Amino acid sequence: MAPAKANYQLQQDDIHLWIIDPQKIMATPELFSLLSTSEQQKVQRYRLDKAKHTALITRSFIRLLLSQYDNLAPQQWQFSIGELGKPEVTNATIPLRFNLSHNNELIICALCLTKDIGCDIENLSRKINVNAIAERFFSKQESQLIKTTPTQFFQYWTLKEAFVKATGLGISQGLDTFSFEIHEQQEKHSNDNIGLFFDESCKEKDAQNWYHRLLFPDDKHCIGLSVNNKKQTDTKPTIRLFSEKQSASLFAF
């Protein structure tokens, strides 16, 4: 059992982003015991071994991770689903907010205080018909851009996914009711030179409330991050990306 001792602190403008490969973590009875009864039942319902393993690691990962920031043991965390379908912790002693995303290889978790936050990760080499998807789901401006620069598809996709997760409205908001503009990258492994625009049907109205960043943890993956920064529009969030090794160390208990 992991000790109930907070090892990390978040300031108001901090975002911590953790990343892990679930296949490198061994499934153990100790991890399973961290989950609530309902979580254990959900894990057991998966038929494929890989899906069951990923579900176990994902749910234990968030519990172990939250306990790095608050003085609760991993098995003590309680969760609820908010009005807009977002999972939230209900018994934290500090205003922790989090969001999870995973693909076939990696799991990421973004944490902050108070703010609405969303994240998404994609494999840049995934083979899909980017033009067909962009034409169906993206705004007209984005769809036209993807036709000329298809290599940017996953950057736009992760940003759009992160944004609808942060708002809590999901794809029901309509992915074509808002548009991103990704400008020239200013840093090697990240880019926040990003514009956001809404059309009249979008439920969100003030693009200035939102901060967005793309991160490239390696040559294979792209992470999109969106956070509601309306109370600190003049201050960029400070983002710290933890390595897979640091994330894996959480399971050494």
Asked if residue 184 belongs to a domain, the reply is yes
The set of residues, in sequence order, having a beta carbon less than 8 Å from that of 234 and lying 6+ positions away, is none
* Rounded Cα gap, residues 63 and 91, in angstroms: 12
Number of alpha carbons in the 13 Å side-chain half-sphere of residue 134 = 25
How many domains in the chain? 2
Statement to judge: residues 181 and 165 lie in one domain: yes
Domain that includes residue 169, residue range: 121-228
For 163-197, b/e burial (b = at least 16 CB within 10 A) is bbbbbbbeeebebbbbbbebeeeeeeebbbebebe
Asked if residue 18 belongs to a domain, the reply is yes
The set of residues, in sequence order, having a beta carbon less than 8 Å from that of 178 and lying 6+ positions away, is 139, 160, 163, 196, 197, 198, 199, 202, 204
Asked if residue 25 belongs to a domain, the reply is yes
Which of 55, 76, 57, 80 shows the shortest CA–CA distance to 66?
Answer: 76
Statement to judge: residues 126 and 219 lie in one domain: yes
Q: One digit per residue, pLDDT tens: the chain, 253 residues?
A: 444 567 899 999 999 999 999 999 999 999 999 999 999 999 999 999 999 999 999 999 999 999 999 999 999 999 998 776 788 999 999 999 999 999 889 999 999 999 999 999 999 989 999 999 999 999 999 999 999 999 999 999 999 999 999 988 777 778 888 999 999 887 889 999 999 998 877 776 678 889 999 999 999 999 999 999 876 556 789 999 999 999 999 998 7
Bridge partners (DSSP) of residue 179 are: 197
Asked if residue 43 belongs to a domain, the reply is yes
Asked if residue 70 belongs to a domain, the reply is yes
Statement to judge: residues 35 and 105 lie in one domain: yes
* Rounded Cα gap, residues 200 and 8, in angstroms: 41
Statement to judge: residues 80 and 19 lie in one domain: yes
Statement to judge: residues 137 and 108 lie in one domain: no
> pTM for the complete prediction?
0.92
